[in-house]
Structure formats: C-alpha cells, structure tokens
A and B are shown apart, each in its own frame.
Chain A
Amino acid sequence: MIVAATNQLLELALALLAAPLLLGWVNKCRAWLQNRSAPSIWLPYRNLHKLFHKDAVLADNASLLFRAAPYVVFGSMVVAAAIIPSVGTALPSAYVADAIALVGLFATARVFMSLAAMDIGTAFGTLGARREMMIGFLAEPALLMVIFTASLIASSTSLVAISTAFVTRELAIYPSLAFAAIAFMLVLLAENARIPVDNPATHLELTMIHEAMLLEYSARHLALMEWAAALKLFNYAAIGIALFVPWGIARGDAGYVELLAGAPILALKLLSFGAGLALIETLSAKLRIFRAPEFLATAFLFAVLGMLVHLLLGS
C-alpha cells in the first residue's frame, strides 16, 4: 500500500516535472535534425519561471470563464497524469477513472480552452477554437477505437489493467495492436498540435490552431496553459507506452527496487519517443487545414482495422 502511494506520488511528480523536459528534448532534437544550434533543454522551465513572475494582463471583457480555464485545463491534465501508469502499475487513483474517462478528461480541457478562446471575442481566438473543435471531434473517436482495441485484448478498459495484462502475458505479437499504434501516433500528432496538423513553433496567427487560443493569455495563465500542453504531450506519450510498449513497468506487486528500476526505463522510452516525434516533424510539412480530416480519418481507419483484425483473427 505504501509502495503504491509512493508510486502514485512519484508518477505525479515525474509527470509535472518531466513534461517540460520532454518538450525541451523534442525541441532540441528538432533543432539538431534541421542543423540548427539547439536551444537549451531547460528552456521550457525558464519560460515557465519567467511567465509565473510576470503580472497577468486580462482583456476588459474577460469573464470568469477565461480566468478559470487555465486552472481547469491544467487540473484535467494533472488528473490524467495521475491515472496513466508510467513508472509502475500500482496506482491507487487509477481505479477512479478508466481510459474512456481519460478521453473525457481531455475533452473537458479542450472544451474549456475553446470556450475561453471565444470568451474574449477576438477573431484569432474564435478561429483557433473553431479549428480545435474540428480536430477534436475527429481525433476523439479514433482515440476511443484505439483504446477499445487494447481493451478487447486485455478485457478491461482500465489502463492499469491493460498494461498489466500485456506485461504479464508471454511475449506475443498482436497485429491488431500494430494498427492501433499507428492510429494512436496520428492522433497524438493532431491532439498535441504537432506538425503536420498544427505547428507549435509558428508565429503566423492565421495558421494557428492551439496557439491561437492562447494569444490573449499572459503570465501565470499562459504558464499554466503551456505547462498543461507539455503535460498533455507527456500524458499521450505515457498512454502510448502503457498500451504498446509497457515492458519494464513496475508491476502492481512490485517493491521500491522495481519502482526505481522503472524510472530509467521510462526515461529511455520517453527519450526515444521525443526523438521519433522530432523526426516526424522534421520530415513533414504542415498539411492544408482541410487535409486534417483526411489525416484523422486515416487514424480512425487504422484503429477500426486494428479492432477488426482482433475480432476476426482473435489476435
């Protein structure tokens, strides 16, 4: 029980602290791949530090919703981090919510962010919110299908149970999971405002999706939004690891040693995930926005294929 509590706290702390680091790592890899001199890996922390020490500026017509949204969004991401197994599967809070509720948490954050973006009434905020909802309503079904495929194999919708099931079984190749993994990666790119769907590095207001919704935020509000975005990427990475490459995760009955061993294994996985993400982003150009539905339809198709393969072949 104490081990489980330790794991829970460890995972939360890790998610909160390592999320900006993961972002810094992705940015560093991107710079290397483009032959640029890379920014410091600690840059996201410095940015957060800077933002938390600034005075917040709010639009005159900002309502409570606008001010509350950063806390809701950040809170959603923290709760999500608490129920996704990363270091170990002994997560007391994981019983609170399953993977479907997790998708709901992400949706909550999205809805609040979009409403806040429209709250101010600027053209860019509305533009971003509109596009975000378009991406969201296409990405969520694909994500659900991915989770269903894994759930069917593991006979549970709990992420902890799915992870445990894959780790404890003897090593077997699931073709259905391969399809699901491709679908998941596409959803991850779209949901985290990465190229080819959105460009996190752009300054062009007219092309933005995620960034356009944050244009009116400043100081601590912006810091929370940015941190939440980093957490979201971390969470998605952790979901992907838990579903598709859970090996090395400390099991439910593990002791402190396994927990300690689980952390570096997770770090290795995250490092390779970050490098892979940077590679995808470097090799692709941004899609025309009306190609994004095709992109996400492909994700959905792969997820459905994964499920069909499982149902037809039982693998």
Chain B
Amino acid sequence: MSTRAQLQWQWIGGTPPAWRAAVEADQWTSVARTMHGDGARLLALWGGERRSDAARIEVLAAYLDQEGLRVTELDVPRDVATIPSIAEVYPAALRMERALHDLLGVRAANGDARPWLRHASWPAGYLPLRRDQPEPPRAPGITDNYAFVMVSGDGVHEIPVGPVHASIIEPGHFRFSVAGEKVLRLEQRLGYAHKGVERLFQHRPLDQGHRLAARICGDSTVAYSWAYCRALEGMSGCEVTARCAWLRALALELERIANHLGDLGALGNDAGFAFGLAQFSRVKEDLLRTLYDAFGQRYLMDYVVPGGVARDLAPASISALTTRLVATEHEVRAMRAIYDDHPGVHDRFHDAGTVLPQLAARLGLTGLAGRASDQAFDLRVDHPWAPWSTFPAKLATRSSGDVLARVAVRFDEVLESIRICRAWLRLLPEGAVQRDLGTPLAGALAFGLVEGWRGPVFIALEAGAEGRTHRCHVHDPSWQNWPALEHAIMDNIVPDFPLINKSFNLAYSGHDL
C-alpha cells in the first residue's frame, strides 16, 4: 500500500502551506485512500494540458488536512483514455471527474459515463480545454438526452423543475421522484451557467485575471478575487502590507455578513414568514449602502487587486462602518429572538433537510453547510493568517444538520463577523495598501485558498510565458455540497424543498464555470 510518505513532496509554500507530488496511475486511488484515512478532505479535482508538452495531460487532485494543502499530479499520455477514479473514496469527486471528461476527454473509471458540464451547446467530441480543437458550431442542434435515474414503484412519479424557474434565480434542473408529497429521490442537473471560465483565463495577463475571478460568482466576489490574488502574489513573491491584509479580511467578513443577512431573510420568506425578509432586506440594504460609501462598491467587486486593495479606508468610513455594524448587530439580535420564538418558523426549520454528521463526513460536506452538520472546518480557524492569526474568529458549529442548524450557524457567523470586524476597525494597522507585484516565472504554480461565506474557494494558478496565464482552475465549495442536497431532501416532502435548498444556497455560476 502506497502511503503519502513515499511520495516526493515538493514544497510550494503559502498559507496554508502547499506541497505537490507526482503520482503514478496505479497509485492514484490508493493515495486518495491514504489521504482519506489520514483525515484529509478533497478540495478539488481538475486537469489540463501540460504547458511544456501538449501531448501530455495532467490531472490534479488537491487535498486539505491539518498540515496544509497537498496536490497530487497524475501524468496522462494523450492517447490514454481512462484513469482510475477516486469517487469511491471521495464521493464528491464523481462530478468533478465527469466534468474532467467533458472538458478534456479523460475518463475516470467511476462507472458514470454521462456528461456533467456538457449540455446540448457543444458536441460530444469537442473538448474545450484542449488546444488543437476547432471552434465548435455555435448552435449545434444536438438533442439533449440526459439519462436521469428512474425510480419505479406503485404511485411513483416524477416532477421536473427548472432550469427556468418562476423567480429570478439561476438555472438548474431538479428531477424529483415522488410518491405523493414524499420525495424518494432527487437528481440534479447543473451546468446551464457554463461559460467557459477556464478558457477565458488562458493567455490572459496574470495581473488582470482578478477581474475575471471577481465576476465568476457575484455573491462571493471578494473571496474569488482574493483567492486569485493570493495565488498570483504567492508565485510572484509579493507579500502585501499589513493594512492591506486587514482590509481584505474586513471586506471578506463584510461580504459574509451581507450574504448571511440576505439568506436569513430569504429563509424566513420561504417559510412563509415575509416579515423576516422585509426586515433582513432593510438591514442588508443599509449595510450595502455603507459599503458603497466606504469602498465605492456595494458588493465590493474589484476591491481586492493584485498587490493590494483598490482604495484605502478613510477615517470617516471607519467610524461609519463601526456605527453601521453596531446597528446591524442590534437588529440581528432582535430578529434572532423573533425567529427563535416563532413556533411556526421553528416548526418549518426544525428537522427539515437533515444531513447527519456521519453522512456529511462521508460526502465531504464543506463550508457553512458542513459546519451545521458538525464538520468543524473553517480556514479562518484552521489555517489562519493575519488578521485572523492575531485576532481569531470563533468557529460556529451545530450537529443537528437541519435547516434550523444552518440558520443558527448563519446567525452565529454574522454576530461573530460583526464582532471581529469591529475589533479590526479599531486596531487597523497604518501603512500603505499597495505593493508592487514581482514578475512570476513561467511555469510557476501557486494556490489561493480563502474561506468564502459558502466555504473554501480554491484557485490553482499556473503561469505561462510573458506574464500570461497558462491555466487557472477555479473551484467553488458548491461542488462538494450540491450532492449533499440530494441526500438532504430524501424523505422530506416536496413543498419543503425550496426552504431546504435555500438553507444551503449553493452557487450555480461558481459551480458551472
């Protein structure tokens, strides 16, 4: 049995510290198993053509454990069609492996040959991430016959929902197999928001990629652009100033607060308690307006730039933000008391969409939803850097894994983020907010990992020649959590799905890329 100790780990650096190692095909699965046995979680699985040799493809898997980030690389000759699968060890890898096949033509032996990201918009033989591909027909006229798993039985029928929904939400298809109101099985189909982000990154100047990263998933724009900048700064040897690091962390926490406020309101609304939505929308809007005044952006888009932040925080803005956060905290506490004391709301939240800790661990549930199922992982706590390393955040967890738990974690995190933001605003170090970015070497590989409000946002950046991007792989925590939603809804009733779905609030755009 191969162990990770036998691999040749090459140190890359960064926070959390990262190592990479080449793995042979016959060890690919056993390394994954060892990683799993050692408590490492699968962060991402992706691939691409080698920079030096387009005839060879590399498949990479990133694992995260207590020590840091370990990236294993599998070298695949172009004519080899099948690689071993790690989906048996890490179920979340299944969809990543399917996406790998859609984009690169490398099939992992996981037993599921259906496409994942590829829909009717490009033909089966077209592989977007290969260099020698002709441009695909713009409207190929393919009929899309996706083989959903059929459930049979007396009185069992299907309810297809989406990808076009009644409200302004992103596209995704949900196929319910139900008996009466009870959901026997849910199967998701995603990929409708695929826009070829990885191709868009290719050959883009490295110091401009943060703008694209910021636009991948609008509600996590700080997390994405920061993850990109961390990777870029890591490979350029640029260490940002203390004030810059604090301002970035502040922006990330403010993004977390704003999103949690919106979700808490929407969760009340989905339970038929419109009062909650009206109140939280007002509190969120007040915060966004303060952000606009302080940062020039309501959702802080393009605030994090390579080497620094787009603008410094004026003293007047610091006091305005502090005042706003105090008011927000007051309102959130009042709303929490209302949510907690409302029997109707409590009844809807309690025991709905449960993912028990054991299942959550098996599925690799991550981020906020993971913490509600006792998966006590948070990069801000596990691998802190400044300012979390000097002024730590408290981890918020619950173990019941239902909607109520996810609501409670959100409340805890909002209040905790407000607490640390207020402290940071008081202690904000002086200094410049921008540093010069060095020139990264061609072929340099670096990673950016940031705990966004949904969970860890991961970016793997590989530099090409002339300061351009060779490859930038972006990974949203929703990849891990979408499959868990299929389990969460089982044995619940159909009308509870929107509420359960909202309690996860996973990304479409960030997932479909």
Q: Give A residues with C-beta under 8 Å from B.
A: 30, 33-36, 123-124, 127, 195-196, 199, 201-207, 282, 284-291
Contact = CB atoms under 8 A, between A and B. Distances in A.
B126 interface: no
Contacts of A34: 274-275, 277-279
Closest 7 CB pairs of A and B: A286-B272, A285-B344, A34-B278, A203-B167, A285-B273, A204-B498, A207-B495
Interface stretch (B154-162, B187-195, B240-248, B455-463): B154-162
A201 B273 CA distance: 11
Nearest to B270: A204
Given A34-B277, A123-B161, 18 more contacts: A34-B278, A35-B279, A124-B159, A127-B494, A196-B272, A202-B272, A204-B166, A204-B167, A205-B161, A206-B498, A207-B498, A285-B342, A286-B344, A288-B496, A289-B493, A290-B181, A290-B493, A291-B347
A76 B496 CA distance: 33
Nearest to A291: B347
B278 A35 contact: yes
Contact of B272 (A35, A284, A290): A284
Nearest to A289: B495
Interface string B261-282: 0000000101111110111001
20 contacts: A34-B274, A34-B277, A35-B278, A36-B278, A124-B159, A195-B272, A201-B274, A206-B495, A206-B498, A207-B270, A282-B275, A285-B268, A285-B273, A285-B345, A285-B347, A286-B273, A287-B347, A288-B493, A288-B496, A289-B495
B211 interface: no
A286 B276 CA distance: 13
Nearest to B495: A207
A206 B494 CA distance: 6
Interface residues of B, number: 31
Given A123-B160, A288-B348, A205 B272 contact: no
B9 interface: no
Contacts of A201: 274
Contacts of A30: 274
B90 interface: no
Interface in B164-187: 165-167, 181
Given A288-B495, A289-B495, A282 B274 contact: yes
A67 B284 CA distance: 45
Nearest to B496: A288
Contact of B181 (A284, A289, A291): A289
Most B CB contacts (10 A, CB to CB) among A34, A124, A196, A282 go to: A34
Contacts of B344: 196, 284-287
Interface string B344-357: 11011000000000
B385 interface: no
B388 interface: no
A286 B275 contact: no
A294 to B, nearest CB: 11
B245 to A, nearest CB: 39
B497 interface: yes
Interface string B477-513: 0000000000000000111111000000000000000
A195 B160 CA distance: 26
Contacts of B166: 203-205
A127 B161 CA distance: 12
Interface in B261-311: 268, 270-275, 277-279, 282
Contacts of A290: 181, 493
A60 to B, nearest CB: 18
Task: Identify whether the interface residues of A are mostly helix, strand, loop, or mixed.
Answer: loop
Contacts of A199: 272
Contacts of A123: 157-161
B410 to A, nearest CB: 17
A286 B271 contact: yes
Contact of A206 (B272, B275, B348, B497): B497
Contacts of B279: 34-35
A287 B499 CA distance: 12
A270 to B, nearest CB: 23
A286 to B, nearest CB: 2
A291 B494 CA distance: 14
Nearest to A285: B344
Most A CB contacts (10 A, CB to CB) among B167, B278, B279, B493 go to: B278
Contacts of B494: 127, 206
Contact of B271 (A36, A206, A285): A285
Most A CB contacts (10 A, CB to CB) among B157, B181, B272, B282 go to: B272
A288 B275 contact: no
A298 B228 CA distance: 58
A202 B270 CA distance: 8
Contact of B275 (A33, A287, A289): A33
A123 B160 CA distance: 7
A130 to B, nearest CB: 8
Most A CB contacts (10 A, CB to CB) among B158, B268, B275, B277 go to: B275
Contacts of B274: 30, 34, 201, 282
B497 to A, nearest CB: 5
Most A CB contacts (10 A, CB to CB) among B160, B278, B495 go to: B495
Contacts of B268: 285
Nearest to B278: A34
A203 B493 CA distance: 18
Nearest to A34: B278
Given A196-B272, A201-B274, A204-B166, A35 B181 contact: no
Contacts of A35: 278-279, 282
A287 B342 CA distance: 12
Nearest to A281: B274
Interface in B326-351: 342, 344-345, 347-348
A199 B271 CA distance: 10
A202 B274 CA distance: 10
Nearest to B180: A130
A291 B493 CA distance: 12
A212 to B, nearest CB: 10
A203 B342 CA distance: 23
Contacts of B496: 288
B372 to A, nearest CB: 20
Contacts of A289: 181, 493, 495
Contacts of B497: 206
B334 to A, nearest CB: 13
A34 B165 CA distance: 26
A290 B342 CA distance: 19
Nearest to B347: A288
B181 to A, nearest CB: 6
Contacts of B498: 204, 206-207
A81 to B, nearest CB: 29
A129 to B, nearest CB: 13
A155 B495 CA distance: 43
Most A CB contacts (10 A, CB to CB) among B271, B277, B344 go to: B344
Most A CB contacts (10 A, CB to CB) among B271, B273, B494 go to: B273
A286 B342 CA distance: 12
A34 B161 CA distance: 30
A206 B496 CA distance: 8
Contacts of B493: 288-290
A287 B274 CA distance: 13
A203 B272 CA distance: 11
A276 to B, nearest CB: 16
A94 B165 CA distance: 45
A251 to B, nearest CB: 41
